[in-house]
Chain A
Amino acid sequence: MKNNILLITILVFSFILFTFKLSTIPSSVYVDEATVGYNALSILKTGSDEFGQKHPIYFRFFGAYTPGLFVYFILPFIKILGMSALSIRLLSAISGTISVLFFYKTLKLLSKNALVGTLFYTILPWTVFNSRLGYEVMFASTLFNIGCFYLLKNINTISYLGLFLISLSTYASHTQRYLAPTFLISYFIFYKKIKLKPVVFLLITQIPNIIMIFTQSFWVKNNSFSLKYFIYQIITYLSPKTLFFSLPDIDLQHQVPQISVFFWWMIIPLVLGVKKLFFININYQKFLIIWLICSLIPASLSGEFISIQRALPLLFPLMLLIALGLSTNLFINAALFIYSIILLFRSYFVLFPKFMAPAWNYGYQELSQFMVKNPDKKFLIYNDNDLRNYILPLYYLQLPYQNQLQNYYSAPKTTDNYSYLNLVFKQLDWGDNFNNYDYVVSDGKIISPDQAVTHHLTKIKTITTPLNATVLEIFKVGST
């Protein structure tokens, strides 16, 4: 009874943590979130996505062909709350809260005291960051992790619910599409469960994916395999520096200042957790090891780039290991909790919205408002910093747009130039005839004062981040 009350308290706390200032932290809507939101709205209004495809299985998003389950699941939120950062991000917050519950249930199978580990799982920078994103990573990860819980709970039989949820997760994210088969094959082999019934069951649940195998869209994320990069990726993801201190991720959007994915002190319980792993039930032990190893594979297959987001499946099993090594001393845990929550508050809620604003496409909301005030003017918007920025005015202004595409699932090639209504998006080219436009917008400081004078451009507005970094500059054409 006491445990249940404490668990409910942790769940309420986690939901508050994942939804606190959700509209404003992250500080603006990132292109990946905007494309999810805009396409969801398009599905709601027309039944088709921005390329005119009726209810796609994979969404073409910038040529990525992302499995679409997340988009369909946020439709009710957009319908009820309208299009906003909150409505796009709320499903991740709910998924994060559910993942806390299932973390507790999974840890309970391995250890008597699961509450402390669950509390620390809740406040992990990795959990909090991903539970506040407006795209699919936390949702897909949670589906997969719940599936793993049911397989672990029914380790001596076969849980069809577990198999179904793992299979379902492949319709939510690219990562799970690689992870699920790797994990399930290992699970069947190591637990000697290769039987006709579960295999047929899985094949039936995978029919939509099997159909898609014959299209280019299924293979867009396939990098050519290189053993060298595969090993380097594994070394990088498992390095204590990556896990506990700073991320080597090239994408600044994935970073939170002054913190990595786990708290730095967790390296100690991780070592102790590895030691304790050998004292738990051998079946559970084997399961956890398979889970850990398989979780690394999707991220390690991503070529030479480090993407901590693709390594998200590692969060759950690695934190289970850390939780096994946590102290049982109440005073130590209370002190660590207060210390960790201060670090989280500092990095995520204070520094992150300000320092990382440029990486989160900050400024396009203000630009969109400027466009609304100038409805008849023609805009040339340079996208040298982010080729995908065409989606942001579509999202903020909810403009009607459909770029009809033939052979939807076989057209992964994207263009760098976009135009709709009176807006043109392209890369900077000094050969452009500015006289065709009323305003030129540069993303970042790509037009110097001298170049502006030479080309008769007058800067009329600079949009800056809260730390005064210039993100967008608006020039009027033809005046001095």
Chain B
Amino acid sequence: MNKIFSIILFIFSIIYLPPYISLLSIIFFLYLNNRIEKYIPIVGYILLFIFQITSTRVATNFEFSGYQNFVHQQQLDSYPPSLFRIGNVIENKIASTQLSRFQQNLFNSLDFVNYFKNYYLSLLFIPFVLGVIKLIKKQNQLFTKLLFTSIVLLTVISPDGKYGPVLLLPFIANIISFYSCEK
């Protein structure tokens, strides 16, 4: 019964995905249900990994607009004169604009709102949360490692590529069916 429910949830979660993402999601799903060998999802993941990098203009991640530079200057000017040197260290090193950009990439990638925009998809949020808890409780080594790699990559290159954070979509689709999944 659990298995059937898991499959229904999984199908529901991949309906809205582009075909190539659905394919990789299915590969992961089959792997997690012991239907295929480990190397197949790895090969599929590498292809998607390359696709994510090539569809993202990484250079924009290190460019800042005139307005951002203006705000940065205003932030520097906000420190009282007695704290100017400390302010300089904080604004340029500890909380620099570049570090903030990486944080922005990380949390834009992990923003649930982006993945559950559609009303019907939003109904999958509860199984998703339960799936995340199951993933935390009982990790699948390969799945977790690849998920972690995706998050790190998107943090560095930004999720704002031509097709968005596609590298995370197969994981989200599978996590939704996770809590009723065996492995």
Contacts and interface: CB of A to CB of B under 8 A. Distances in A.
Interface of A: 228, 231-232, 234-236, 238-241, 244-246, 248, 257-258, 264, 267, 271, 274-275, 278, 339, 342-343, 346, 350-351, 354-355, 466-467
Interface residues of B, number: 29
- Secondary structure class of chain A's binding surface, majority of residues: helix
Contacts of A232: 113, 122
A264 B103 contact: yes
13 contacts: A231-B122, A235-B116, A235-B122, A236-B112, A239-B110, A240-B112, A258-B100, A274-B136, A339-B94, A346-B91, A346-B94, A351-B78, A467-B74
Contacts of B67: none
Contacts of B129: 238
Contacts of B110: 239-241, 267
B136 A275 contact: yes
Contacts of A241: 107-108, 110-113
B137 A235 contact: no
A240 B122 contact: no
Contact of B113 (A236, A351, A467): A236
B145 to A, nearest CB: 15
Contact of A346 (B95, B122, B136): B95
A258 B113 contact: no
Interface centre among B94, B113, B129 (most CB of A within 10 A): B113
A354 B71 CA distance: 12
Given A238-B129, A240-B107, A241-B108, A342 B90 contact: yes
A271 B133 CA distance: 9
Nearest to B91: A346
A275 B135 CA distance: 10
Given A241-B111, A350-B83, A355-B74, 19 more contacts: A228-B119, A231-B123, A231-B125, A239-B110, A241-B107, A241-B113, A245-B107, A257-B75, A264-B106, A339-B94, A342-B95, A343-B95, A346-B90, A346-B91, A346-B94, A350-B87, A466-B78, A467-B74, A467-B78
B78 A278 contact: no
A267 B107 CA distance: 10
Contacts of B123: 231
B92 to A, nearest CB: 12
A235 B117 CA distance: 9
A201 to B, nearest CB: 34
Contact of A238 (B87, B90, B112): B112
Contact of B107 (A236, A244, A258, A346): A244
Interface centre among A239, A248, A271, A275 (most CB of B within 10 A): A239
Given A232-B122, A235-B125, A258-B100, A264 B107 contact: yes
Contacts of B94: 339, 342-343, 346
A258 B74 CA distance: 13
A240 B111 contact: yes
